Amino acid sequence: MPVQWAGLSPELLLTVDRDGGERLCAQLERQLRDAIRSGRLQAGERLPSSRELARVLGLSRGLVQDCYAQLQAEGYLVTRVGSATRVADCAQVESVPAAPAPDAGPRMIADFRHGVPDLTSFPIADWLWATREAARTMPTADLDYGDSRGSSALREVVAGYLRRVRGAAADPARTVVCSGYAQGLGLALRALADSGVRVVAYEDPGAPATATAAAKAAGLTAVPVPVDEAGLDVRQLEATGARAVIVTPAHQWPTGVVLAPERRHALTEWAARRDAYVIEDDYDAEFRYDREPVGSLQGLAADRVISIGTVSKSLAPALRLGWLLCPPVLAEPLTGLKRIADRGSPALDQLALARLIESGRYDRHLRRMRTTYATRRTALVSALSRHAPSVRLSGLAAGFHAVAHLPSGTDEGVVVTESRARGVGLYGMSACRSSGVASPPQLVLGFGDLTERAIIEGVEAVGDLLLGAGS
């Protein structure tokens, strides 16, 4: 479908050489033919008016009209009374054959992908209100490059929010706004590498692909450390020689366990003793159901913990907004790295987020989503108890994913593959393990972006597979 350019006369890159031997009309005809044949101008696209093109190129309007008339006669252009000149639908285009479309497979009943919130519940009306308010009240100076740490308004609001809700020792002066978790992790690891850190540990199971890729980009070596029912095993962390570790203490990804109090203290003591740092991924602490809130690890050791938070789970990943709470010695290095990376995140989006939070609309959205996710969690538990009663669920106290423990001997890979053939997207725990092994067989079931009906129908469609049938 051609782009429907707005405005009276869309621009078009053409040049004329008055010193060459080729006639000006011939040059114009040749360039337009080439643009159409190559696909630079596509069927149905509107050309500039003859008057405007003549003005831009410094030619007579009659010359441009003659050119258009010639190309129309050749079948490249079409002109209708009262309408713009356009590229003809049947114009010959020299295009590279498109790759064959992949087989779409069966209709997707439910896709239990994890890490994605309910995208249909994004508070668009509140976001538009916040954006309008931010644009209406922002000082002209805020349109400049500004502080690389981010908008002072957002840093003040985020710091206050995290002190109130997460028990963090947040200081606006040591808060750096970033473009989501990926950038925040990359900045943190580069700052640690510059300070002399050479090895960074990560939780296993966890996010091995993300951790190893980010570590490699920063010039670090990444090593896995086991997670058990109490969270990260700090004694095994000691044995790695690492001076940094990436953890998800409030709701471990993907097992869902909470880092036990004794482990939290052991971890901060390890960091102090080894001159090491903890990178805290506070990814979905806003959503909890039947447990007490767990405070930020950063609140225990602000000088040793880099805490990364985002609105990717609470609002939407597309906003690409997050923040780092920086230890004092790393605040300036992290600010410098952010300055080099992109000179700061988009100011208007930051101001809109600040207005959304301080207005109370952000808290209202979170309360609504807790109810939504709790209802979907109940639907998942109920559907599994009905169609796969021997499958145990864990990690349900917070967030919007759960771990399904399949019967012993079940082939995790077969379950994933055969479920896909039935129109249900399932994801194995093996992808979250550094070794990639599929034993014990487990699934990570995300339910954030699924309706209750989709959850029920999806589980019903694969219930026999989850019980080990056919595997």
> Where residue 1 falls among pLDDT bands split at 50, 70, 90?
low
Q: Mean of the pLDDT values across residues 39-56?
A: 88
The answer on pLDDT for 3 being more than 80 is: no
Residue type at position 155: R
Region for residue 361 given its phi and psi (left: phi exceeds 0; alpha: psi -120 to 50; beta: otherwise): alpha
What is the rounded distance in angstroms from the CA atom of residue 386 to the CA atom of residue 13?
A: 64
Compute the average pLDDT of residues 250-274: 96
Question: In angstroms, what CA-CA distances link 312 with 79, 289, 419, 461?
Answer: 49, 20, 28, 30
Model pLDDT for residues 122-143, shown as the tens digit of each residue: 999 999 999 999 999 999 999 9
| Fold exhibited by the domain 1-98 | Arc Repressor Mutant, subunit A (1.10.10)
- The tens digit of pLDDT for each residue in 360-417 reads 999 999 999 999 999 999 999 999 999 999 999 999 888 899 999 999 999 999 999 9
Out of 3.20.20.60, 3.40.1440.60, 3.40.50.300, 3.40.640.10, the CATH code matching 124-359 is: 3.40.640.10
The reply to whether 124-359 shares the fold of 1-98 is no
Mean of per-residue pLDDT scores for the chain: 92
Would you state the pLDDT for residue 471? 47
Indicate the range of 1-10, 16-25, 111-120 predicted with least confidence.
Answer: 1-10
Q: In the prediction, which pLDDT does 7 show?
A: 55
Q: Which residue has 């952000």 as its token pair?
A: 362
Is residue 32 within 8 A of residue 41, CB to CB? The reply is: yes
- How far, in Å, CA of 93 to CA of 34, rounded? 9
Task: Say what the alpha-carbon torsion angle 352, 118, 290, 357 is, to the nearest 10 degrees.
Answer: 0
Across 436-443, average pLDDT: 96
Q: Give buried/exposed letters for 137-167 (b at 16+ CB in 10 A, else e).
A: ebeeebeeebbbbbbbbbbbbbbebbeeebb
pLDDT of residue 104 exceeding 70? no
The residue ranges of DSSP E strands in 23-168, in sequence order, are 77-78, 86-87, 110-111
In angstroms, the CA 201 to CA 278 distance is: 9
pLDDT over 90, % of the chain: 79
Domain map (residue ranges) of the chain: 1-98, 110-115+364-466, 124-359
Residue 219, sorted as left (phi over 0), alpha (psi -120 to 50) or beta, turns out to be left
Closest CA to 401 of 265, 205, 223: 205
Residue 39 CB neighbour total at 10 angstroms: 12
Mean pLDDT of 69-84: 86
What's the pLDDT tens digit per position in 306-351? 999 999 999 999 999 999 999 999 999 999 999 999 999 999 999 9
Average of pLDDT values for 41-70?
Answer: 90
pLDDT at 5: 59
Bridge-based pairing state of the strands 231-232 and 221-228: antiparallel
334 close to 192: Cβ distance less than 8 angstroms: no
Architecture in CATH for domain 110-115+364-466? Alpha-Beta Complex (3.90)
Give the burial string for 257-292 (b: 16+ CB within 10 Å, else e): bbbeeebbebbbebbeeeebbbbbbbbbbbbbeeee
Q: How much of the chain, in percent, has pLDDT values that exceed 70?
A: 93
Token duo for residue 323: 């923040």
One-letter amino acid identity for 338?
K
* Coil, helix or strand at residue 401: strand
Both tokens of 71, joined, read: 């190309």
Q: Is 161 in contact with 353 (CB distance < 8 Å)?
A: no
Handedness of CA 29, 35, 38, 43 (dihedral sign): negative
First to last CA, the chain: 45
> Residue written as tokens 């790695």?
240
155: helix, strand or coil: helix
Q: Are 369 and 121 in contact (CB under 8 A)?
A: yes
38: confidence class by pLDDT, cuts 50, 70, 90 = confident
Distance CA 287, CA 314 (A): 8
User: For residue 354, what are its two tokens?
Assistant: 């600040």
Looking at the DSSP bridge assignments, the partners of residue 244 are 200, 277
- Centre a 10 Å sphere on the Cβ of residue 8 and count the other Cβ atoms it contains: 10
- Residue bearing tokens 């947040």: 170
pLDDT for residue 180 is more than 50: yes
Regarding predicted confidence, which is higher, 41 or 336? 336
Name the more confident of 89 and 225.
Answer: 225
What tokens does 171 get?
């200081």
| DSSP class per residue in 308-371 | EEESTTTT-GGG--EEEE--HHHHHHHHHHHHHHHSSS-HHHHHHHHHHHHTTHHHHHHHHHHH
CA geometry: angle 269, 270, 276, nearest 5 deg? 115
